[in-house]
Structure formats: C-alpha cells, structure tokens
Amino acid sequence: MIRLCHFLILLLILPIVTAHSSLGDPLPYSTYACKGDTTWCKTPCPPLSLRGKAPARNSPEDPAATWARGDKVTITWHKNNHRGGFYRRSLVPVKHMFDHDWHKKTAFDWGCWSQGSFICGKDTPLCGGDKKGKAYRNTITIPGVFPDGDYVFAQVWFGGLHWQGKAPKYADYWSCAFVKIQGGKKVDSYTPKFRPSANPRRGVPKGKCETGSVRPLECGGEACENGPVKHTLPEEFLGGGLPPAVKWALFGKGELKKSKMKESPSTMTEKAVQADKKDKKADATAVKEEEKMVKEKKSTEIENPIEKLIVSRNSKTVGEVDPNEKKTINVGATWAMLEADLGDVRPKRVWIKVPGVGRRSGQLHPYRYFVKKLPMNKWTKITVEAIMPDGKKHSATFDVYFKSGRARELKTKDDSKCAKEKVPPRPTGTWGRRYSSLWWKQREVMLIRRRYCRECPNVC
C-alpha cells in the first residue's frame, strides 16, 4: 500500500527535468542532482534546503519507500539524452548522509549506467527530460547487512560521456532518497557486486562499460576531459579485485538512532537554483556549438562533391562524363537534358554552364538544365559550379563531343579474325564507263571493302 501511494504521487506531481541524471524511483527528496564540481553542492547528497519540485512528503519520518532485507526492488533513473559511465549505490544512515566516507564504505551495488532502457513517456517524473521518452532501470536485492532504521538510498553517476558518446564530459551526479529498512533475514557480511549491461553497445567488450573515469570524484569539473573513452571496470573491480565487504557490525549502537540531521554546507538556496539554471544553459549552448562544428567539419571535409555529368533524352541516359574526362556522346539530336550528379550532398545552389548557350541554376535536387540547341560536332567544355551552405564553392569541367545523327549498331568481328582477312585494295586509275563490265567490277570491290571496314574498323 505504501509503495502504491508513492507511485501515485510520482504520477501526479508536475514534470521534473533534472540537469543530467537523478533517481526516478525511489523518488529523490530533491529534483536537483548534486553535481560534484559546484560550490553549492560539495556533499554526496543535495542540501535539504534545495528540494526543487520534489513533494514535501519525503523525509525520514515519511520515506519514499520501505524495504525489508532480501527484498527485490526495481530502481529507475533518468537517461536525459546521455550515456556511458558507471553508477554506484549505497545505503547510508541518515546521520551520515553528507559524509563521502560513509557513502563509500556502505556501497553495495555497482554497474554500467546505460542499461535496462525502457519507454516511460516524455516529461514525466519517472522519465525526466529525455527527448525520446526513455529511462533506465534494473532490479536489486536489499542486502541483509543493514539493520532496521532510517537510511538514504544514494546513487552516483560518474564517468558520463558527451551527448555523442565520443569523449568524457560530465562530472559526478549524486541523487538521494529517504528509505526505511524494516524486517527481513539478517546476514553478517555482504560482498558488493558489479553488474554490466546485458546488451552493451557495439564495440564495447562484454562485461565492461564505456566511461570517462573509474572512480567518483576523479573529475575535477565539467567538461571533464580525461583522455579517450575507456572500456573498463570500476576501480574496485580492476584486476579481479572486489570492494571491502559491508558488515552488520559497521552499524554499531547509536548509528541508526533518530537524530537531527545536520544541514550540508551550502550557499543560499536562491543562488543554488541560479547556478543550476546557468549549468543547464551552458550545456545547451555547448551542444549547439558542437552541432555547428560538426556541420562545418563535414562541409570542409568534402573536397569536391561534383561526381559526374549525365546527358539524357526522353528520360533515358545517353551518356555520362566524369570530371576532367573527354568523351564523345551520340545524342541523335540537337537537344538534351544535362544533369549534375552530386551524390548525397545537397548544396545551396548549382550552376550548369554551356559555352555559346548560357547557364542555368538550380536549388532543388536533381540539378538539371534543358538545352534546346547543343554545340554539335565539336569539343565543348561544360562547367558545373556548386555553392555549399557555408558559402564554399566547388567546380568541375567536363569535355564533351556531341555527335548528331542516328547511332548505328555495327557488328564487329573478332580482331584476330579481322586481321587474317584480306581487305581488297581501293581501285586505282580511271573508273570505267557507267554500267560497263569494268565499272561493275570496280563497284563490287568498293562494296566488299565497305563491308569489311564496317565490321573490322581496325584494319581499314
């Protein structure tokens, strides 16, 4: 019943958009994920005075969830258009919720941050601000080493990658929720576990994660440039190692007694909110600048997008010419359609210039020029110019010889056979009187010679 109530609260509150990543369920007591490189949030959990749009009913007396030792619990966290890095989870007594050492020694679950993607709807408390309406989730088992009492369930995301996943970028982000442990089977010791993604991205070795760092607090600020992206494990699990076991004896007498929580060191709440808004604005600006740089880079990387000139008549191609190539094309008439082929590139404008005829520009693909009167039976240099969106110009020249008349299909004999045939020599001297016996002989020789020259052009 308690879990159902909290789920209903989760659906009814206003949409929450965090800066990068925070818990979705259990519901955190603050919608501001605590970034490790800011002056207002140098503790593992956000200041109690900075709750954002989180519901007021989230405190040790009224926790977000009540779990028993050995329970299987589904944890969800915001994707928010990012990927990469690790998560680390701890159950910390409320008294020590702002102590980094306690978060480290009570950590019981590590894993790849990008795992268990599912559709949860856009702009919902469960999803955060992911543009595709996706979030992450997995299931954990509450270890039996935690005595009954009030805790903070804390998750830290570290080693996060840039929005394109090409380089390390983000600092550590901490998110905390009040929970209660009550009942269940007790154990004296628990060895923490690491859980990789069941479906890693292409290129990531199975059992490892893509990340920018191997431990929390390694990144000094944002952007966090720690060299190339690594495919590895958290520091505690490298080389087959394991973190220290979490023991029941760690929680001695008095550790779980109810006591007044000490506020974390922070500046004014208003300044903290302004700082968070500034971070969001800076992130959005950085994304836009990188998108612009990628577009400019793609534009400059294209040496010359003009691939060939296509000549067609009645929607049928009669010839294609590559740049700086000489080619004869029999068009069979004095008109034709000239088309510039630029592959997948879409320039701002294309010009096709034909000497003695004029030029034509086009803004839409395909880039064509209908020429009514081609320069026939002579070599013609046709120029194609392309203007890219960034203003850069490209050009290519095509040497074409347009032939008129119907194209004849001649049967060509094998060259070796043609070479053995004896082509009769051309008649010499004066031709005989018309229709005389000499004239008929001379005419027969010329017809035979003409036939051989058509079938074996290499021997004439």
Bridge partner residues of 194 (DSSP):
110
* 342 plus 284 within the same structural domain: no
Question: Under the phi-then-psi rule, with left for phi > 0, alpha for psi from -120 to 50, and beta for the rest, what region is 342?
Answer: alpha
Q: Is residue 409 part of a domain?
A: no
Domains held by the chain: number: 3
* 287 plus 374 within the same structural domain: no
pLDDT at 365: 55
* 275 plus 317 within the same structural domain: no
Longest dimension (CA), the chain: 137
Q: Is residue 106 part of a domain?
A: yes
pLDDT at 441: 84
pTM over 0.85: no
**For position 339, which CATH number holds?**
2.60.40.10
Q: Is residue 302 part of a domain?
A: no
Beta strand 367-371 with 246-247 is unpaired
pLDDT at 412: 43
* 362 plus 244 within the same structural domain: no
Across 217-325, where does the E strand assignment appear? 230-232, 246-247, 308-313, 316-321
pLDDT at 246: 92
Domain, as residue range, for 338:
308-403
* 361 plus 449 within the same structural domain: no
| pLDDT digit string, tens, across residues 43-89 | 788 877 776 665 655 788 888 899 999 999 999 988 877 788 889 99
Higher pLDDT, 37 or 152: 152
| pLDDT digit string, tens, across residues 164-203 | 555 566 778 888 899 999 999 999 999 999 988 877 777 7
Q: Is residue 172 part of a domain?
A: yes
Residue 220 burial class via C-beta count within 10 angstroms: exposed 0-12, middle 13-18, buried 19 and up? exposed
pLDDT at 186: 92
Q: Is residue 70 part of a domain?
A: yes
pLDDT at 376: 84
Q: Is residue 301 part of a domain?
A: no
* 62 plus 125 within the same structural domain: yes
Last residue of a domain, one of 380, 403, 426: 403
Q: Is residue 50 part of a domain?
A: yes
> Whose CA is closest to 19, among 11, 27, 31, 36?
31
* 443 plus 387 within the same structural domain: no
Q: Is residue 107 part of a domain?
A: yes
Which of the given ranges, 147-151, 226-230, 371-375, has the highest pLDDT on average? 147-151
* 398 plus 431 within the same structural domain: no
For residue 33, give every residue at least 6 positions away whose Cβ sits within 8 Å of its Cβ, in sequence order, or none.
18, 19, 20, 21, 22, 46, 173, 174, 175
Rounded to an integer, the average pLDDT of 225-242 is 81
Q: Are 309 and 395 in contact (CB under 8 A)?
A: no
Last residue of a domain, one of 296, 317, 352: 296
Q: Are 197 and 112 in contact (CB under 8 A)?
A: yes
* 391 plus 421 within the same structural domain: no
* 142 plus 10 within the same structural domain: yes
Which structure tokens are listed for 336?
Answer: 């034709």
Q: Write the single-letter amino acid at 430.
A: T
Higher pLDDT, 169 or 349: 349
Rounded to an integer, the average pLDDT of 429-434 is 79
* 145 plus 278 within the same structural domain: yes
Q: How far is 238 from 459, CA to CA, in rounded Å?
A: 79
> Whose CA is closest to 76, among 155, 136, 150?
136
Last residue of a domain, one of 249, 276, 296: 296
* 237 plus 142 within the same structural domain: yes
